[in-house]
Structure 1
Amino acid sequence: MEPEIFINLQRRVNQYKEVLANTVEYREIWLASLRQRIVDTLEAVINGVGLEAEVEVRSEMDNLEAVVLSLGAMKSGMAERVNESVRRDLVKYNGALVYQQLFNGKVIVLINYPYIENYGQPRPPKTIAIYRPEELREPYFIRHLEEFIQEVTNWEDFDDDEPNQRIGFHFNFPSGGEPDADTPTDKT
């Protein structure tokens, strides 16, 4: 067979080998420095802003570890009546920001929403992004925490009468549906 017919296949094989090598490298970086840098950065930020949270490493599975910033758990204020004299408090889990190793050594950043046990279904986690180790820089941690706090605040302040974003035809018009005289219109 002529070597020219292998050009595309060889390119794909080389790419495959590079991806496998990256996985090994990303895992080594996680163990050597990234895991601790995530912990240190999150702790510095929560201490700096006075957020009551706990940062912990979950390492039950090698190469699938996670750094979790948890807002903890507490009594929800609701209780199940077991009988006339016994009530069982429902526990509320206040949410978490998770930095989890993926199978390929990259890091996925997730928001685990608050939920109350035995009260509806927990909302599925929200994926913020997936990063290679070298992409995770301090400004990203701040942005992740801002988004996390915003999502948790929205969950806590749930009210279907006040949607977060107003959309629709009448958004920029007064109640009559006509443009306000002071509102510029695009007439080109």
Structure 2
Amino acid sequence: MTLTPKKAHDSLVQMTELVLPNDTNTFGNLMGGRLMYWMDIAAALACMKHCAAPVVTASVDNISFENPIKLGNVVHIEAIVTRAFNTSIEVHMKVWGEDPVLQYRYKSNEAFMTFVALDPNGKSRPVPPVVAESEEEKKLFEGALRRRQLRLILGGKMKPADAGELKALFYEQQ
């Protein structure tokens, strides 16, 4: 069965949340767990737009918090599918905070998440390939295979010797 490729941009999800007191820690900053929860929702929505099926989170790459988002600020989350493999989909996330009073935006963090599409029986199912069009989409698409190999190695599902794309970064091709 051949699935029709879909454009990366068609999966774009933009989500906005207001940081309320129940979302913050004792320093008045948005709790990291709450932000990851919102990011997971936005990423899942992007995947569902891409494959028209329910999805489950398979992995979350490193999330580094560059700047805290304060109580009363706005959180902007952007999620876009970067590449699809057989049954899994990688999503790139960007997060900004915004002070609505002083009216400026600042970068909070970015991350990659991986999801698996499910069939009606809860089993993994094939997903459509991704068509990358913009320069940024192409850059993310090209790097996705290396990121996937790294995830598989760290998860014990691939031997480092089998990670050809990663090895190509470190060794000259002869």
Larger C-alpha radius of gyration, 1 or 2?
1
Structure that is richer in strand per residue:
2
Normalised TM-score (structure 2): 0.31
- Greater RCO (Cα-Cα under 8 Å, separation 6 or more): 2
